[in-house]
Amino acid sequence: MHEEPPAPARTTAPHPPSCPPSPPAAEHVTTTIERGSFCLARCTCGWSGPARRSRDRARTDAAEHVMAPQQP
Ligand SMILES: [Zn+2]
């Protein structure tokens, strides 16, 4: 009769906790960037609005995009 000794408890590193879950793709964070005398809205999803003469208008474009994001 031969019995194997119990395997020693190995402390292998589990799945690293720093591994974040994939972020939701439907997150839209907009910024306005200035280009010369124009201003345009830009989004983290890759969308960018048309160049506007007023920053206010670019912000409106951004707000409209966040409300109803267009699919590319
Ligand atoms: Zn977006």
Report pLDDT for 66.
Answer: 93
Tell how far the Cα of 66 is from the centroid of ligand 1, in angstroms: 6
The 10s digit of each residue's pLDDT in 9-27 is 777 767 667 766 555 556 8
- Which residues are registered as beta bridge partners of 39? 34, 52
Tell how far the Cα of 20 is from the centroid of ligand 1, in angstroms: 21
Tell how far the Cα of 39 is from the centroid of ligand 1, in angstroms: 17
Report pLDDT for 20.
Answer: 60
The 10s digit of each residue's pLDDT in 24-51 is 556 899 999 999 999 999 999 999 999 9
User: In angstroms, rounded to a whole number, what is the distance separating the alpha carbons of residues 62 and 42?
Assistant: 7
Q: What are the residue boundaries of the structural domains of the chain, listed by start?
A: 30-67
Report pLDDT for 16.
Answer: 67
User: In angstroms, rounded to a whole number, what is the distance separating the alpha carbons of residues 31 and 49?
Assistant: 10
Tell how far the Cα of 27 is from the centroid of ligand 1, in angstroms: 7
Tell how far the Cα of 37 is from the centroid of ligand 1, in angstroms: 24
